[in-house]
Amino acid sequence: MLTKRIIPCLDIKDGRTVKGVNFVDLRDAGDPVELATQYALEQADELVFLDISATEQKRKTLADLVLRVAAAIDIPFTVGGGISSVEDVAVLLKNGADKVSINSAAVKNPNLINELAEQFGSQCIVVAIDAKQINGQWKVHLVGGKVPTDIDLFEWAKEVEIRGAGEILFTSMDHDGTKQGFANKALARLNTEINLPIIASGGAGNISHFVDTFQQGKADAALAASVFHFGEIAIPELKKELNQQQIAVRIDTI
């Protein structure tokens, strides 16, 4: 049985970890290298590092910070933000990233997914999808959630799979930062319509929300930020509860 993964997310702006609500009202959450080191020690399964202002500011991900974070940890590490070419990915992988996450660039140039999968392998290509409900329909948003599109979440997920992505990171903008639980109905539908691993993002507020997204949403992994950054949920405690709920997770023994 494949274990479910717990993934802290470090949203980076101006070299600091930040967290907001519904993609706005950002507040400082600490030094990314220190947080990454802490999470690796606490048995996080992976980390996601998103340079959230890279696309909006039309610059590249902070490759030097990627190098520093990767040097400090020994768990898989996904990097996203401002990635739009094979060259961008090559630099990040060389600097220590295990996977890359693409979002806006993939929507604007879907063939980028094919190119990256062919060049580096599907296993290291994560397509992030930010979506919110508009008139009852899940619509994809770009540039850190600031630019709405008419693209349907589920149709885009299917295309992403066909083009060679290895994983999907789905963030519900409606749930992001609210601590009211994940978008489990949408996650469960994604699980039935595509065969890729799905990372649930947006809405974690307590341990039961993680239980629900694995049991009801059928997520393969759950990503969260503020509940970890501000000490509201300890990863060892979370994994202990998931294990008691018969949800398979990796628990290292000393």
- Convert the pLDDT of each residue in 173-199 to its tens digit: 998 878 999 999 999 999 999 999 999
The token pair at 103 is 């979002």
Confidence of residue 57 (pLDDT cuts 50, 70, 90): very low
Q: Is 249 helix (H, G, I), strand (E, B) or coil?
A: strand
Give the Cβ contact number of residue 174 at 10 Å: 17
Confidence of residue 230 (pLDDT cuts 50, 70, 90): confident
The token pair at 238 is 């979370």
Across the range 219-232, mean pLDDT stands at 92
Structural domain 5-244, CATH architecture = Alpha-Beta Barrel (3.20)
Identified catalytic residue from 11, 45, 88, 220: 11
Q: According to the model, what pLDDT value does residue 25 have?
A: 47
Residues near 20 by Cβ (< 8 Å), separated by ≥ 6? 11, 26, 27, 176, 177
Across the range 205-232, mean pLDDT stands at 95
Across the range 34-58, mean pLDDT stands at 80
What percent of the chain has pLDDT above 70? 89
Write the burial class of residue 237 (CB in 10 Å: 0-12 exposed, 13-18 middle, 19+ buried): exposed
178 within 8 A of 205, measured Cβ to Cβ: yes
Rounded to the nearest 10°, the torsion over CA 224, 153, 128, 12 is -60
Residues near 71 by Cβ (< 8 Å), separated by ≥ 6? 96
Confidence of residue 29 (pLDDT cuts 50, 70, 90): low
CA-to-CA distance for 174 and 178, rounded, in angstroms?
A: 8
Q: According to the model, what pLDDT value does residue 181 have?
A: 96
Give buried/exposed letters for 209-225 (b at 16+ CB in 10 A, else e): bbbbbbbebbbbbbbbb
- Convert the pLDDT of each residue in 66-123 to its tens digit: 888 889 999 999 998 889 999 999 999 999 999 999 999 999 999 999 999 999 999 9
Q: Is 31 a catalytic residue?
A: no
Q: According to the model, what pLDDT value does residue 102 have?
A: 95
Q: According to the model, what pLDDT value does residue 40 have?
A: 94
Across the range 47-71, mean pLDDT stands at 72
Q: Is 229 helix (H, G, I), strand (E, B) or coil?
A: helix
- For residue 2, the 8-state DSSP code is P
Across the range 19-27, mean pLDDT stands at 49
Owner of token pair 């759950």: 222
Pairing verdict, β 77-80 and 47-51: parallel
Q: Is 11 a catalytic residue?
A: yes
Identified catalytic residue from 51, 88, 130, 212: 130
